[in-house]
């Protein structure tokens, strides 16, 4: 298993707009990219007010865990001031809180990063535990367009 340099930091509340899919761990590698590429990306200009080639983030992939292996996955971005909610999209809140995060070099490492943060890192960590009451998320900014790198975050509680 790959290792990642983990940092813990407070993150602010963010109001996001986007679309979602209910999926599970066996289908996520197909469902989530489809949601981004075929459903959300062609409509991002409705939120950003910019042409797709001009918008360089931020955007968020937010996962709200449900029972078992199921979760609601959201492809989102912050809404610009004065925007009107586009048809078929909803607004969600990414709660403020303490999150453990790491830099991920490419989308091909996304699963490994979340596995590390949820399974390997907590076993050695003495100051924090995973907070299962809040969503985890991916954070994409201009680095993603430049190099494919992005960050992932899981909510934690201080011990």
Question: What percentage of the chain has pLDDT greater than the value 70?
Answer: 98
Over residues 51-57, mean pLDDT: 76
Three-state secondary structure readout of 89-137: CEEEEECCEEEEEEEECCHHHHHHHHHHHHHHHHHHCCCEEECCCCCEE
As a whole number of angstroms, the distance between CA 141 and CA 150 comes to: 7
Domains and CATH numbers, the chain: 6-158 (3.20.80.10)
Residues 4-36: tens digit of each pLDDT: 999 999 999 999 999 999 999 899 999 999 999
Give every CB contact of residue 46 below 8 A, 6+ residues apart in sequence: 86, 89
Query: pLDDT tens, 85-97?
Result: 999 999 999 999 9
Give yes or no for a contact between 99 and 154, defined as CB atoms under 8 angstroms apart.
yes
Residue 52 has pLDDT above 80, yes or no: no
User: How far, CA to CA in Å, does 71 sit from each of 7, 21, 28?
Assistant: 25, 8, 9
Report whether pLDDT(3) > 70: yes
- 129-142 tens-digit pLDDT: 999 999 999 999 98
- Residue 83: per-residue pLDDT: 75
For position 1, what pLDDT does the model report? 65
Q: Which residues contact 116 (CB under 8 A, 6 or more apart)?
A: 1, 2, 3, 4, 6, 102
């Amino acid at each position: 298993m790959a290792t990642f340099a983990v940092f813990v930091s407070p993150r602010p509340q963010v109001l996001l707009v986007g679309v979602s899919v209910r999926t599970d761990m066996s289908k996520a590698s197909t469902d989530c990219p489809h949601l981004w590429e075929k459903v959300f990306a062609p409509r991002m200009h409705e939120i950003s007010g910019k042409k797709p080639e001009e918008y360089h983030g931020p955007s968020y992939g937010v996962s709200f865990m449900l029972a078992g292996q199921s979760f609601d996955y959201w492809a989102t971005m912050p809404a610009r001031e004065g925007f009107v909610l586009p048809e078929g999209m909803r607004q969600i809140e990414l709660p403020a809180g303490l999150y453990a995060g790491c830099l991920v070099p490419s989308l091909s490492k996304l699963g490994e990063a979340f596995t590390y943060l949820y399974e390997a890192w907590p076993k050695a960590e003495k100051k924090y535990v995973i907070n299962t009451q809040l969503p985890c998320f991916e954070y994409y900014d201009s680095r993603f367009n430049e190099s494919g790198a992005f960050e992932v975050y899981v909510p934690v509680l201080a011990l």
